[in-house]
Structure 1
Amino acid sequence: MTAHVRLPRVPVPDDPGRRAFLTDVIEGLSADPKRIPPKYFYDERGSQLFEAITRTAEYYPTRTETGILTERAGEIASFVPKDSALVEFGAGSLTKARILLAAAPIKTFVPVDISGTFLEGEATRLSRDVPGLRVLPVAADFTAPFALPAEIAGQPRVGFFPGSTLGNFEPHEATAFLRHAGELLGAKARMIIGVDLVKDPDVLTRAYNDAAGVTAEFNLNLLRRINRELGANFDLGAFWHRAVYNREQLRIEMHLGSKTRQRVRIDGRCFDFRRGETIHTESSYKYTPELFRTLANGAGWRVAESWTDRDKWFAVHALVWG
């Protein structure tokens, strides 16, 4: 059953976040092929739907990565300096961070997420559950410049980027993000990162086309958000969800396709759709260990250690900056 949540207030017209959202949507729908950045999936409802996706039978990444973190917690904890500040990029529900926080000598936790309301609730629960931990949530788009809290100055810093979210970036964007993260965390920084591995395409396509339709609802919620926050008139019933594997690019592609010829209006502009035309809403790149090592090296990181599950479906890498 889909959870019903109180939707956030529609931003005022001069809200910077709304302006950026509008600009990205207008540019994306003006492109050929049409596209919208996947970071806009994560309004409050989108964040909750993604958590529901992670519990579907077909979606293996969350349970596989969680298994690695749990089974290798001691080894991973030994990689974390004493009294560290753990900075999680795209924090979400904090489930995986809790595994590290229980095992490693972490003094301060800085969860960073674009969905401020969702983040605040999770941070409050974590502070209640772990009284000795200093929790400093930062509501920000981690793909753009942002500042870390002044309170962690002088502490060793460890980045945490689970969930194979790196795969949502184009390769050049992934390199730029890793370099930015290293510069943000600073000298002698470390990072723990989850990366989805190349595997049987049937496993991949099932994971992004679950039988219960949760991923489809997650994808369509992007259009619902555009309607609500940008005043668009998307008819959600006139679009279908589909995820396909691109063998040449080693990536899953998520699309929203038009069921009919139609016109959509956003902020006084019109966008025409042909029947079958799609909006590319997400790519999820899969890596071999060698491809990831090359990517990390090119961004200024060194792979110090790697852990995988028995089937080699997923990897958790420990990186050292510089």
Structure 2
Amino acid sequence: MHTSAVLEESALLTQHSFTAEIEAGLLQDCATISPKFLYDALGSHLFAAITFLPEYYPTNTEKSILAQYRNQIAEVVGKDGVLIDLGAGNCLKAASLFDSLKPSTYVAIDFSIEYLNEALNQLKSKHPEIAMHALGMDFSQHLTLPNSIPMQHRTFFYPGSSIGNFSAVEALQLLKKIKSQILDGGLLIGMDLMKPDDVLIDAYDDPLKVTAAFNLNILRSINNHLNSDFDVSQFKHVVTINHQENRVELYLEALDDVRVQWPNNVRTFKKGERIHTENSHKYTIESIKQLLRSAGFESIQIWTDAKKYFAVIYAK
């Protein structure tokens, strides 16, 4: 079979899997959509805009930690290795490490391959000395790197506390997958810490409503996958804090009774009924250590900001 045919078949199988996953979530008693569908091309751009908001502390806080401790981080990570960026987005976080880590190879992995290619093309011209690869992959489901990626001295980079989107069981499974691929390298990961409710609400429901647009766009994203007829104007963005589970929860709430249909199925959302779109779990230093040790990491080094809002961890 020709390579183009193989890729086309793979894409069709992936699309079929996505369609089945979305439909199953929508037909649950409490409807849900996986947060990975937030990151289509438009969603990825909207999230990039969110990171510039003063209320959204994770990006700037993580950035300041990486800058403040760049020499210590470079010392434990090492130089001239393979930097593997999970959920790379616009690749800017990883690019900020290039001067200190001096990777020989950079592998950007993201759900939205179109947005990823756009970002990587700009980065290649600035760093021609680094071999760069873009991989469109749902790494939450499978994480297998192609043979073209060097096996020595791998550093997996997972910033932004994206690990917090997963349940404790899912996070542990993903970290175990990463551990199995690290070989002689390590994991550099950002994890969000618990903090006052008002700080969290401002971060996830900003006054400019950029986060609301980001969340609502998931309906357009799944319209493209499912051929459904969601109308974003019929829903609103809702944020709650679940103290029992130590997480922020994002929902879309029906403003009135809404009937949504797609091929071979239909669902009516009553006024006030919600679709769950994302969790963002928050951690303590001790819970971070417990999670990483359970995944098989033995050596753990942690850096935080002065307010203890966020943590950057290197584990191997």
**How high is the TM-score relative to the length of structure 1?**
0.92
Structure 2 partner of 1:219: 215
- 1:173 partner SS: helix
- 1:202 partner SS: helix
User: CA offset at residue 185 of structure 1?
Assistant: 2.3
Distance (whole Å) between structure 2 residues aligned to residue 138 and residue 158 of structure 1: 16
Give matches, 1:5-44, under 5 Å.
Answer: 15-44=12-41
- The one-letter code matched in structure 2 to 1:300 is G
On the 8 A contact 1:296/1:303 being kept in 2, the answer is no
On the 8 A contact 1:159/1:191 being kept in 2, the answer is yes
User: CA offset at residue 302 of structure 1?
Assistant: 2.7
2:282 aligned with 1:286: yes
Distance (whole Å) between structure 1 residues aligned to residue 207 and residue 228 of structure 2: 29
Match of 1:235 among 231, 242, 253: 231
On the 8 A contact 1:87/1:110 being kept in 2, the answer is yes
- 2:104 partner SS: strand
Structure 1 partner of 2:302: 306
Distance (whole Å) between structure 2 residues aligned to residue 113 and residue 242 of structure 1: 26
Structure 2 partner of 1:49: 46
Per-residue CA deviation, residues 279-299 of structure 1 (Å, 9 max, x unaligned), is: 000000000000111011111
Give the direction of change, closer, same or farther, for the CA distance of 1:192–1:311 in structure 2 (3 Å limit). same
Match of 2:100 among 99, 103, 128: 103
Gaps of 5+ in 2: 1-7
- 2:62 partner SS: helix
Structure 1 partner of 2:269: 273
Percent of aligned positions that are identical: 38
User: CA offset at residue 303 of structure 1?
Assistant: 4.4
- Over aligned residue pairs, what C-alpha RMSD do you find? 1.5
User: CA offset at residue 237 of structure 1?
Assistant: 1.0
On the 8 A contact 2:235/2:255 being kept in 1, the answer is yes
- 2:144 partner SS: coil
- 1:150 partner SS: coil
**How high is the TM-score relative to the length of structure 2?**
0.94
Distance (whole Å) between structure 1 residues aligned to residue 95 and residue 134 of structure 2: 15
Per-residue CA deviation, residues 227-246 of structure 1 (Å, 9 max, x unaligned), is: 23321111211101011111
User: CA offset at residue 77 of structure 1?
Assistant: 0.7
Distance (whole Å) between structure 1 residues aligned to residue 197 and residue 271 of structure 2: 27
Q: Runs ≥4 in structure 1, deviation > 6 angstroms?
A: none
Greater Cα shift, 160-169 or 90-99? 90-99
Gaps of 5+ in 1: 1-10
Give matches, 1:1-322, under 5 Å.
Answer: 15-186=12-183, 188-320=184-316
Q: How many pairs were matched up?
A: 308
Give the direction of change, closer, same or farther, for the CA distance of 1:154–1:226 in structure 2 (3 Å limit). closer
- The one-letter code matched in structure 2 to 1:189 is G
Per-residue CA deviation, residues 151-179 of structure 1 (Å, 9 max, x unaligned), is: 33342111100000000001100000000
